[in-house]
């Protein structure tokens, strides 16, 4: 497949954009005249620079408000077009984009517009150039690709074709199946963009909120399926107007863009096997049956502190690595690995971030397939030298430079605990059973600007879905939270985006020098029994304010006896259409990391309404800012 991206989609100087785009694997760029006018090199130089980066110019958009104009504008537009044709020859592109007219002086009429394009087609043909016509969702007369196609059809000129843009079609909720009857060779280029569903003015929505296919809520896959059915085999070109991307990292945004196209076309090829766009087949998204383990990188002192806390939480040391300073703690299905090696990646992570949960393993249907797919989607491979008797577990880099391992039952990777670890025989002080059964969810905190990157990272590689974004109110600002989960809830990851460093999440990423796992939630079948056993082990739950309990009693109409039990144990409560949710928190450990214990009685959410109370309580526990560790 041939991929392209509009240079206005990313930030940076023109040359910086080109190198980021080329490195991400794109074949071409769309140039809008404004983007290139600001750059003080001749069009021929620009064309050469583009080619020097191994790229081509997929299209040029030099001006607008062309068709259906009364005189003297009409003649002026044709003169202008000729000047721009000169420029296109220098740039080295053969395709001009003209979007539908928005001018108040423009005249309507399909035949008038078709006649203008036929004449423009004649002029373009003399120079071996082509012109594509695109319906803007807010065009004055033409705002539907079906009408734009009718104009192109009536212009009836080989050098005039249609430009489709998923945003304009989907924003207006136009049936994408209307695309299927358009001959593929009459579509000159296809522009792709997604967007979050927000009710607002179409133009404003389009120019500020577009995002990469798969990052928003529009049915870009259905759109592309319909395009593929026409036999179209030209460029897939991202045209993403997004304020945040324009201020973001050109490298990261370009990589996300390329990944979004690879993911999109992998979905399309599975339902449109006859499409003419060539795509490299790859394994399907992995089925995840759970979090196989979480690994902490620690030093001596904080390692002891963490192990002591985990013992209070009911974990037992069950294995010691045969050759490394690594121990395995377990409870129910939960495996926690404590790594205090003084070399290697875990140690590097510890030195940069302090004690942290830098890696986790996912139990998937096929670990090698999961890894192969990840690499095809542009994920970074992770490997470190393995000693004798150790397994090379397929892995990639994840959030905050951490590591995601893939384990499965079929290749024997699931037997890692028996192979690499020696069972522990020494008798430990018995801390009593707490009843934690499995990992309910992992919460990863990132900078707000990175959220879409990681959302696409997970949803493109794993068979997961994303939930709508919710705002979590921290006393010091807003945190945006979005969930990636499997249908059956065996994997649940909450991504929390911090916009400001004073929130608990913002402070976590500032103090630990980057994004990462900020909390881990364990599931219990009986939170009251767990709470009682925890108290006997000397566990001090995060203290929740008495006001909270007055409020929930009234808000949910709860039995005062139940509320009193929750209050005594600092258990929080929520309810949705599916059932009830009970939560209990540990105070923070280290720089804002903490554990949570939950009991779900059918409930599908994550207790977002309680976050404000939990955050306020956690903040009361944090050491004052600026204190040494
Ligand atoms: O916002 C615009 O003006 C604009 C211009 C060109 C396009 O291809 C488009 O989709 C939007
Ligand atoms: Mg467009």
ipTM at complex level:
0.99
Q: Which amino acid residue places its CA nearest to atom 1 of ligand 1?
A: 207
Map tokens 């006859």 to a residue.
274
Q: How far apart are CA 510 and CA 490, in angstroms?
A: 31
Query: Is any atom of ligand 1 closer than 6 Å to the C-beta of 51?
Result: no
Q: Tell me the Ramachandran region of residue 11: left when phi exceeds 0, alpha when psi lies from -120 to 50, beta otherwise.
A: beta
Cβ contacts of 428 within 8 Å, gap of 6 or more? 311, 316, 317
Is 420 annotated as a binding-site member?
no
Specify the pLDDT at position 90: 94
Query: Is any atom of ligand 1 closer than 6 Å to the C-beta of 134?
Result: yes
Judge residue 393's burial from the number of C-beta atoms within 10 Å of its C-beta, 0-12 exposed, 13-18 middle, 19 or more buried.
buried
Which tens digits make up the pLDDT trace of 368-411?
999 999 999 999 999 999 888 889 999 999 999 999 999 999 98
Show the domains of the chain with their CATH numbers. Answer: 2-271 (3.20.20.150), 288-420 (3.10.180.10), 436-621 (3.10.180.10)
The runs of H, that is alpha helices, within 402-450 are: 416-420
Cβ contacts of 110 within 8 Å, gap of 6 or more? 147, 150, 151, 154
Atom of ligand 1 nearest to the CA of 206: 1
Identify the band that residue 623 occupies on the pLDDT scale cut at 50, 70 and 90.
low
Cβ atoms within 10 A of the Cβ of 385, count? 7
Specify the pLDDT at position 431: 73
Share of the chain above pLDDT 90, in %: 85
Identify the band that residue 627 occupies on the pLDDT scale cut at 50, 70 and 90.
very low
Cβ contacts of 177 within 8 Å, gap of 6 or more? 226
Which tens digits make up the pLDDT trace of 542-570?
999 999 999 999 999 999 999 999 999 99
Local structure of residue 620 (DSSP, 8 states): H
Specify the pLDDT at position 56: 98
Query: Is any atom of ligand 1 closer than 6 Å to the C-beta of 207?
Result: yes
Share of the chain above pLDDT 70, in %: 98
Does 622 have pLDDT greater than 80?
A: no
Cβ atoms within 10 A of the Cβ of 430, count? 9
- Nearest Cα neighbor of 280 from 299, 296, 263, 305 is 263
Is residue 43 classed as helix, strand or coil in its secondary structure?
helix
Query: Is any atom of ligand 1 closer than 6 Å to the C-beta of 34?
Result: no
Ligand 1 pocket mutation, candidates 31, 66, 99, 223, criterion most atoms within 8 A of CB: 99
Judge residue 6's burial from the number of C-beta atoms within 10 Å of its C-beta, 0-12 exposed, 13-18 middle, 19 or more buried.
buried
Whole-angstrom distance between the N-terminal and C-terminal Cα of the chain? 53
Q: What distance in angstroms lies between residue 77's CA and the mean position of ligand 2's atoms?
A: 21
Cβ contacts of 40 within 8 Å, gap of 6 or more? none
Does 626 have pLDDT greater than 60?
A: no
Which tens digits make up the pLDDT trace of 50-74?
999 999 999 999 999 999 999 999 9
Q: Which tokens go with 228? A: 């593929």
Map tokens 């005039």 to a residue.
160
Q: How far apart are CA 481 and CA 496, in angstroms?
A: 4
Which tens digits make up the pLDDT trace of 279-331?
999 999 999 999 999 999 999 999 999 999 999 999 999 999 999 999 999 99
Query: For the residues 515-536, what does the mean pLDDT come to?
Result: 95
Q: How far apart are CA 88 and CA 84, in angstroms?
A: 6
Is 596 annotated as a binding-site member?
yes
Specify the pLDDT at position 521: 98
Does 226 have pLDDT greater than 90?
A: yes
Query: Is any atom of ligand 1 closer than 6 Å to the C-beta of 165?
Result: yes
Longest dimension (CA), the chain: 94
Cβ contacts of 207 within 8 Å, gap of 6 or more? 241
Query: Is any atom of ligand 1 closer than 6 Å to the C-beta of 136?
Result: yes
Identify the band that residue 501 occupies on the pLDDT scale cut at 50, 70 and 90.
confident
- What kind and span of H or E run contains 238? strand 235-238
Identify the band that residue 624 occupies on the pLDDT scale cut at 50, 70 and 90.
low
Which of these ranges, 29-38, 246-255, 256-265, has the smallest mean pLDDT? Answer: 29-38
């Amino acid at each position: 497949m041939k991929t392209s991206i509009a240079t206005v989609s990313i930030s940076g100087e023109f040359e910086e954009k080109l190198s980021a785009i080329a490195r991400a694997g794109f074949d071409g760029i769309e140039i809008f005249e404004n983007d290139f006018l600001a750059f003080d090199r001749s069009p021929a130089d620009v064309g050469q620079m583009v080619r020097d980066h191994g790229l081509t110019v997929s299209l040029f958009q030099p001006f607008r408000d062309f068709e259906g104009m009364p005189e003297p504008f009409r003649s002026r537009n044709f003169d202008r077009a000729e000047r721009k044709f000169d420029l296109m020859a220098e740039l080295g592109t053969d395709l001009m984009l003209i979007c539908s007219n928005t001018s108040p002086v423009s005249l309507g009429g399909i035949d008038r517009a078709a006649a203008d394009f036929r004449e423009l087609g004649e002029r373009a043909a003399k120079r071996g150039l082509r012109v594509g016509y695109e319906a803007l969702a807010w065009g004055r007369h033409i705002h539907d690709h079906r009408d734009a196609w009718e104009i192109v059809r009536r212009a009836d000129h080989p050098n005039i074709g249609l430009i489709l843009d998923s945003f304009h079609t989907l924003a207006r909720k136009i049936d994408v199946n209307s695309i299927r009857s358009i001959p593929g060779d009459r579509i000159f280029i296809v522009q792709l963009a997604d967007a979050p569903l927000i009710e607002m003015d179409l133009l404003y929505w389009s120019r500020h909120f577009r995002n990469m296919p798969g990052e928003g809520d529009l049915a870009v896959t259905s759109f592309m399926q319909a395009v593929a059915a026409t036999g179209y085999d030209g460029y897939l070109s991202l045209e993403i107007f997004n304020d945040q991307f324009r201020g973001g990292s050109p490298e990261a945004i370009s990589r996300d863009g390329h990944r979004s196209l690879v993911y999109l076309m992998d979905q399309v090829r599975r339902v449109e096997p006859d499409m003419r766009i060539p795509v490299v087949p790859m394994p399907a998204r992995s089925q995840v049956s759970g979090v196989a383990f979480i690994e902490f990188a620690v030093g001596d002192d904080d390692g002891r502190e963490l192990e002591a806390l985990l013992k209070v939480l009911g974990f037992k040391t069950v294995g010691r690595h045969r050759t490394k300073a690594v121990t395995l703690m377990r409870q129910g299905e939960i495996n926690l690995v404590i790594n205090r090696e003084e070399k290697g990646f875990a140690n590097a992570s510890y030195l940069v971030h302090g004690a942290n949960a830098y890696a986790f393993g996912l139990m998937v249907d096929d670990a090698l397939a999961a890894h192969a797919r990840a690499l095809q989607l542009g994920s970074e491979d992770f490997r470190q030298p393995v000693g004798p008797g150790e397994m090379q577990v397929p892995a990639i880099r994840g959030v905050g430079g951490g590591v995601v391992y893939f384990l499965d039952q079929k290749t024997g990777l699931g037997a890692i605990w028996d192979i690499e670890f020696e069972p522990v025989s020494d008798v430990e002080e018995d801390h009593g059973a707490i009843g934690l059964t499995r990992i309910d969810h992992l919460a990863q905190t990132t900078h707000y600007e990175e959220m879409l990157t990681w959302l696409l990272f997970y949803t493109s590689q794993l068979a997961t879905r994303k939930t709508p974004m919710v705002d979590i109110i921290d006393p010091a600002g807003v945190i945006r939270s979005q969930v990636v989960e499997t249908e059956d809830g065996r994997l649940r990851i909450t991504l929390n985006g911090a916009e400001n460093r004073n929130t608990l999440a913002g402070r976590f990423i500032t103090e630990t020098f980057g994004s990462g796992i900020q909390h881990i939630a364990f599931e219990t079948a009986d939170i009251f029994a767990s709470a009682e056993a925890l108290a006997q082990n000397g566990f001090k739950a995060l203290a929740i304010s008495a006001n909270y309990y007055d409020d929930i009693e009234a808000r949910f109409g709860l039995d005062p006896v139940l509320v009193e039990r929750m209050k005594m144990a600092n258990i929080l409560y929520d309810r949705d259409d599916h059932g009830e949710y009970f939560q209990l928190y540990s105070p923070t450990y280290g720089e804002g990391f903490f554990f949570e214990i939950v009991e779900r009685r059918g409930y599908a959410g994550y207790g977002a309404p309680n976050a404000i109370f939990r955050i306020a309580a956690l903040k009361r526990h944090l050491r004052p800012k600026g204190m040494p560790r």
